[in-house]
Structure 1
Amino acid sequence: MNSSDASQWMVAMQEEIIALHKNNTWDLVPLPQGRKPIGNKWVFKIKRNGDDQVERYRARLVVKGYAQKEGIDFNEIFSPVVRLTTVRVVLAMCATFNLHLEQLDVKTTFLHGDLEEEIYMLQPEGFEEKEKKNLVCRLNKSLYGLKQAPRCWYKRFDSFIMSLGYNRLNADPCAYFKRFGENGFVILLLYVDYMLVACPNKDHIKELKARLAREFEMKDLGPTNKILGMQIHRDRSNRKICLSQKNYLKKILSRFSMQDCKPISTPLPINFKLSSSMSPSSEEERMKMSRVSYASAVGSLMFAMICTRPDIAQAVGVVSRYMANPGREHWNAVKKILRYIKGSLNVALCYGGSDFLISGYVDSDYVGDLDKSKSTTWYVFTIAGGAVSWVSKL
């Protein structure tokens, strides 16, 4: 509220409060004896588009879920999200069969979930009702921050989409499909509040959007160009779709001061071996290495590896074995991977062509690990010319 953007943040908060009241999220009631209300706080975020331009200011009222007691405030909390393999397979289908691909976003997603437990919360800071300051909010709907909020939303959405005649994919609980006649179908992928819809007939997408809009407050994002921080570049005339993380990888290089490094052509040199004998042996060495963001760098690379970069899977697998006690040589290996990333920022997974063929490849390095005398096995499956599933593990 002291910043130069205070007016934008105020508008964002008021929009959130209006949405909460509109959704009948809570009722003001006296606090029952023996119960303790959970606190809340405002979380602010500037949403940016694919070109890193400011899209909108967003304020969220978030419950302090860490204060919840199991068995009183929550029971089950698990909620699935769509598998990245499924997303890539659907993108390959869209490229090969020239399907329409659109994205949707659910506004105030977790407010749609119906609560099964009795939960009390303090009134939101800055929006307390003057005559009712002694009352607390009894939640009717789930809120951001509640441990069970993702589960409540998934159960609500799942029951609704199944009522429309959609089937859930056995291999992925967040992938739904519906057939229309012999050749018509709609595929819907759900990642929390984000939906990807693929279909050969645009009228079926319009019908689905209309039904969803009647049930939930939706935001139509039009043709897909981004998903989970990955850029989707589509060339419909040549039936090609490319998936990349160029912007994300640039941020990683900048975060670890490697934006001006000298690029190299491979993630790790041939016959390059790491072992635990390279870990620090003295307290002085450990103190030096504790100032290095080793785990953060490996974690950042790991996200790129599971999304769009199978080419660094083996190298990231090797350096991730030494997170507990990394040495100088281990850190140099991480920097080598970053240097390889610098020289391959434009590398992307590309799907397309007329053949929708699945190919699988597997290999092993035969006792390549010096510490445990284990092998690293590796496989990759490709569809329509691009990798959709891969693993490199000890």
Structure 2
Amino acid sequence: MPGNEHKVCKLVKSLYGLKQAPKQWYQKFDEVVLSSGFLLNQSDKCVYSKFDDSGKGVIVCLYVDDMLIFGTDKNQVDKTKKFLSSRFSMKDMGEVDVILSIKIKRENKGIVITQSYYIEKIFKKFNREDCSPVSSPIDPVEKLMPNTSKPVDQLEYSRAIGCLMYVMTSTRPNIAYAVVLEAYSDASWINHVEDSSSTSGCVFLLGGGAIS
């Protein structure tokens, strides 16, 4: 403001949209959930679980500011909802039907997750609705054709592969070979002098570029 150019605003809390907001939100959520007895999943830092000695328990999955809460006992699920509602401003959306483009079906034998409608949306988006299905991981009768040097839209190709990779990591690991084209791995083979541990690593390449 004219005449007040030397003044600055002091931020007393993180604001939605600022760079530090997601980190502050996760730290707050993590602190609250862990303090109530939940355990953090070491493979996925956004999954928390709490089970009692009888095997009854609740699992909470966090995606940005959306939560998926499920468990073996409805009373414990309701109790978890009540606790979280007392600490955060929440809206209960009821039983989940679709989350992160994954459809959840409840059947007599249990729960089935599928992304068929999402896959159909991918086909439509990239004008591949006339594609014929093939067996995975690779079509055994695939015929390689000479390169005609026809230019390919690299951005569109990358987007299509990205969509397929999301399907692969969520519900369709069987298409991994067709989607992730090259992979290399190596290990140090127990060369640590103190605890005889080894270090391994891998890299996945798509179109010559590292993607994982």
Provide the TM-score with structure 1 as the length reference. 0.41
For 2:112, the aligned partner's letter is: C
1:284-295 matches, within 5 Å, as 285=150, 288-290=151-153, 293-295=156-158
1:172 partner SS: coil
Greater RCO, CA 8 A, separation 6+: 1
2:17 partner SS: coil
In structure 1, what is the equivalent of residue 124 of structure 2? Answer: 254
State how far apart, in whole Å, the 2-side matches of 1:225 and 1:33 are: 53
Query: 1:315 offset after TM fit, Å?
Result: 0.7
Does residue 264 of the first structure (1) align with residue 133 of the second (2)?
A: yes
Does residue 222 of the first structure (1) align with residue 94 of the second (2)?
A: yes
Structure 1: 5+ residue stretches without partners: 1-29, 36-119, 121-137, 325-392
1:204 to 72, 76, 96: 76
State how far apart, in whole Å, the 1-side matches of 2:53 and 2:13 are: 38
In structure 1, what is the equivalent of residue 207 of structure 2? Answer: 322
2:152 partner SS: helix
Does residue 33 of the first structure (1) align with residue 6 of the second (2)?
A: yes
In structure 1, what is the equivalent of residue 105 of structure 2? Answer: 233
2:91 partner SS: strand
State how far apart, in whole Å, the 1-side matches of 2:55 and 2:161 are: 45
In structure 2, what is the equivalent of residue 213 of structure 1? Answer: 85
**Cα distance change on mapping 1:322 and 1:167 into 2, 3 Å:** closer
1:165-184 matches, within 5 Å, as 165-184=37-56
State how far apart, in whole Å, the 2-side matches of 1:212 and 1:32 are: 43
**Cα distance change on mapping 1:307 and 1:273 into 2, 3 Å:** farther
* C-alpha distance after superposition, 1:42-79 (max 9, x if no partner): xxxxxxxxxxxxxxxxxxxxxxxxxxxxxxxxxxxxxx
State how far apart, in whole Å, the 1-side matches of 2:4 and 2:174 are: 57
In structure 1, what is the equivalent of residue 57 of structure 2? Answer: 185
1:304 to 154, 159, 167: 167
State how far apart, in whole Å, the 2-side matches of 1:264 and 1:199 are: 36
**Cα distance change on mapping 1:179 and 1:266 into 2, 3 Å:** closer
1:218 partner SS: coil
Query: 1:156 offset after TM fit, Å?
Result: 0.4
In structure 2, what is the equivalent of residue 49 of structure 1? Answer: none
State how far apart, in whole Å, the 2-side matches of 1:292 and 1:204 are: 47
1:245-394 matches, within 5 Å, as 245-259=115-129, 261-266=130-135, 268-270=138-140, 272=142, 278=147, 280=149, 285=150, 288-290=151-153, 293-318=156-181, 321-322=206-207
**Cα distance change on mapping 1:297 and 1:139 into 2, 3 Å:** same
Between the aligned residues of both structures, percent identity stands at: 34
Provide the TM-score with structure 2 as the length reference. 0.73
For 1:294, the aligned partner's letter is: Y
State how far apart, in whole Å, the 1-side matches of 2:23 and 2:4 are: 26
1:142 to 14, 18, 36: 14
1:242 to 95, 99, 112: 112
Does structure 2 retain, via aligned residues, the 8 Å contact 1:188–1:195? yes
For 1:241, the aligned partner's letter is: I
RMSD: 3.1
For 1:251, the aligned partner's letter is: K
Greater helix content? 1
Does structure 2 retain, via aligned residues, the 8 Å contact 1:294–1:323? no
**Cα distance change on mapping 1:183 and 1:147 into 2, 3 Å:** same
For 2:181, the aligned partner's letter is: V
State how far apart, in whole Å, the 1-side matches of 2:168 and 2:17 are: 29
State how far apart, in whole Å, the 1-side matches of 2:36 and 2:50 are: 9
